Amino acid sequence: MRPALVTDPGARQLAAVQTDFVALLTSFAATAIEQDKLAADEDPNQLAFELHSILLGVDTKFVLYHDPAYLELAREVLRWRLAPLSTREPRD
């Protein structure tokens, strides 16, 4: 991944935090795959990207609207995404 193209120190720090968080999610995903908690063909980088995107989306919605329904929706989406394929129920 290329470094963020920012010069502002605060923005640079935010970019570093986001990069570190995605790396942590990627590491967790890789560990879960190694421990057979996720499918062997799961891509840790893609999963980390998806999870991070969901978290950013719910954070934005909750900050803007203060509606806890967004938090519950995110929980449902995360549970569904992390469930083994064999146990997933179709989403409405």
Q: Which of 90, 88, 85 is nearest to 39 (CA)?
A: 85
Tell me which of 91 and 45 has the higher pLDDT.
45
57: Cβ–Cβ under 8 A, 6 or more apart, which residues?
74
Residue with tokens 């995360």: 78
pLDDT in tens, 52-73: 999 999 999 999 999 999 999 9
pLDDT in tens, 70-87: 999 999 999 999 987 657
Catalogue the E-assigned strands of 1-92. Answer: none
**Burial (CB count within 10 angstroms: exposed 0-12, middle 13-18, buried 19+), residue 49:** middle
